[in-house]
Amino acid sequence: MKLKYSILFIPVLALALILLFVGESGISSDLILINELRLPKVLACLFAGGLLAVAGLLMQVFFQNPLAGPDILGVSSGSSFFVAIWMLAGAGLNPIVQKWGMNVMSFLGAISVFCLLLFFLKRNVSRVSLIIIGLLISSFASSGISVLVSMSQALQLKNFLVWSMGSFRNITQADLPQFVLLSCFSLFPVWFFLKPLNQFLLSENYAKSVGVNVKKMRIVFVTIAALQISIVTLFCGPIGFIGIISPHLARIYLRRAQLIHLLPAVFLVGSFLALVTELILVMTPSLSISVNAILGLIGAPIIVLYLYRQRSLSL
């Protein structure tokens, strides 16, 4: 197992080092350039990719749905919608108030969608229906954002559109301490709930039968996942596909389902995907490609292959 982790860690470390010394301007070892521009970008890839991957795993375990993910079930869209409301409506506020307001609104958006999904989950909707509901939530959020954009001023619109494209480069040196601190804070509680998470992995009924307080754990899991998704959405904008495909790639690689082994691998896979995406952007500076466009090209075929593989196994 240690060997598998090492094999996974080495390419993540290698990509991080490459991105520290290689940028759109070429190879450079200038400390100011690395410290001000490239280090925040690399740490954003490492933590944002890892957070989305862990949040996706929590959602798949909790909803008992292998296609659950922050973007598929509309959680990222809900977070984006609430941030858009604050960005476009509170542009004239004090910058500190505006920043903290965005923090709160991002979390409220994510937790609101989770609560809506829980409402339908209690009504025993099927896995497919839950995904359809998530897509409808995303559609509603996108429509709401379009209305807000049409009512905004030019400067507000520019700031929002830059953020809404999703990028690991949105984080500045000044944002870095807050981002890293919040990321670590959201990851720390997961390790305290590995046992009930493993029991949820089998089924909610099994978790109840072994004495797990399901209602309490539901609140804990939803809060942790919502916090992780809201942190990434706030600092990087909406980022797709990492949350849904990372758990599957980690399971295929490790060939294990126990979360104590799976969680570190999922985090590393998410970081790896984010770093690969950023490296592609660095290598194609003349092309105006977005992070989500590259992740879509990587993620969509993986999801199709997963569905085909599951179909083959069920026959």
Task: Write out pLDDT tens, residues 53-81.
Answer: 999 998 888 887 888 888 888 888 888 88
Helix, strand or coil, per DSSP, at residue 151: coil
Say how far apart CA 172 and CA 38 lie, in whole Å: 10
CATH code, domain carrying 255:
1.10.3470.10
pLDDT given for residue 14 in this prediction: 94
From residue 173, alpha-carbon distances to 37, 53, 96, 121 in Å are 7, 24, 16, 41
Rounded to whole angstroms, the Cα distance separating 62 from 71 reads 16
What SS3 string covers 252-272? HHHCCCCHHHHHHHHHHHHHH
Query: How do residues 177-200 score in pLDDT, each as one tens digit?
Result: 999 999 999 998 888 888 878 777
Domain with 201, as residue range(s), is 2-314
Taking only the tens place, the pLDDT of each residue in 208-262 is 777 778 778 878 888 888 899 999 988 888 898 999 999 989 988 887 667 778 8
**H/E stretch holding 22:** strand 22-23
Q: Which residue has the higher pLDDT, 203 or 236?
A: 236
Residues 136-169: pLDDT tens digits? Answer: 998 998 888 888 777 777 666 667 777 778 888 8
Phi first, then psi: give them for residue 119, nearest 5 degrees: -60, -45
Average pLDDT (103-110) is 87
The total domain count for the chain is 1
